[in-house]
Chains A and B, each alone.
Chain A
Amino acid sequence: DTAVSQTPKYLVTQMGNDKSIKCEQNLGHDTMYWYKQDSKKFLKIMFSYNNKELIINETVPNRFSPKSPDKAHLNLHINSLELGDSAVYFCASSQDQTGGRGYTFGSGTRLTVV
């Protein structure tokens, strides 16, 4: 039973395309996140939603648009993909927005833009 699941696991696409990555958690957590891990393994938060409400929005190009239809899902849509968007994207969740009980990460989506 996967706690935080992301699809797809791998995504190869051409520049200029629009793509979506989906994330679902079955932990009953209130807060979900998207992180980007670049080629040097550096992890940086992109967005955070608490109970479907956006609470963290880092300096991310507006080509990236998160959507949370309910608190168990947080999807990431990317328009007009660029080469620099190639990275591994991790979804995560925590019980509440304090993160005080820890975070659970998904297995990642490796996006390659060619």
Chain B
Amino acid sequence: AQSVSQHNHHVILSEAASLELGCNYSYGGTVNLFWYVQYPGQHLQLLLKYFSGDPLVKGIKGFEAEFIKSKFSFNLRKPSVQWSDTAEYFCAVNAPAAGNKLTFGGGTRVLVKP
């Protein structure tokens, strides 16, 4: 079964700082990769997804993620964060050949100080 790990549980940074959140998964086959954001008190919203093609994926709100197959990683980045980026970020993986269960990482809580 696949698993997903997010290395940082909490990240605190100031506005305009750059953000990178790590995500690694454990599954040797083909995967679909996702990053979701959950703003305080709200539901999960899709930031971006990777299915195939260009490993550098651009999403909404200025986020991007890079799939590095050799490292089983799908790290999320944003060059300059805003206070409104304060949220919980979840990496998720779905492996079509392994039951198609969308498996989430433990989440990273990001706090952006104004």
Contacts and interface: CB of A to CB of B under 8 A. Distances in A.
A84 interface: no
Given A42-B107, A44-B104, A103 B51 contact: no
Main secondary structure of the interface of B (DSSP, over half): strand
Contacts of A97: 100
Contacts of A98: 94, 96, 100
Contact of B43 (A56, A99, A100, A108): A108
Contacts, number: 54
A68 to B, nearest CB: 17
B44 interface: yes
B94 A99 contact: yes
Contacts of A42: 104, 106-107
A97 B88 CA distance: 26
A99 B42 CA distance: 22
B32 interface: yes
Interface in A83-110: 90, 92, 97-100, 102-108
A20 to B, nearest CB: 20
Contact of B102 (A33, A40, A106): A33
B46 interface: yes
A105 B88 contact: no
B99 A41 contact: no
A107 B90 CA distance: 16
Could you say which of B38, B44, B46 has the most chain A C-beta atoms within 10 Å of its C-beta? Answer: B44
B43 A90 contact: yes
A43 interface: yes
Given A43-B90, A56-B101, A107-B43, A99 B32 contact: yes
Contact of A102 (B34, B42, B103): B34
17 contacts: A33-B102, A41-B88, A41-B106, A43-B104, A45-B102, A56-B101, A98-B96, A99-B102, A100-B51, A100-B96, A102-B34, A102-B46, A103-B102, A105-B36, A105-B43, A106-B43, A107-B43
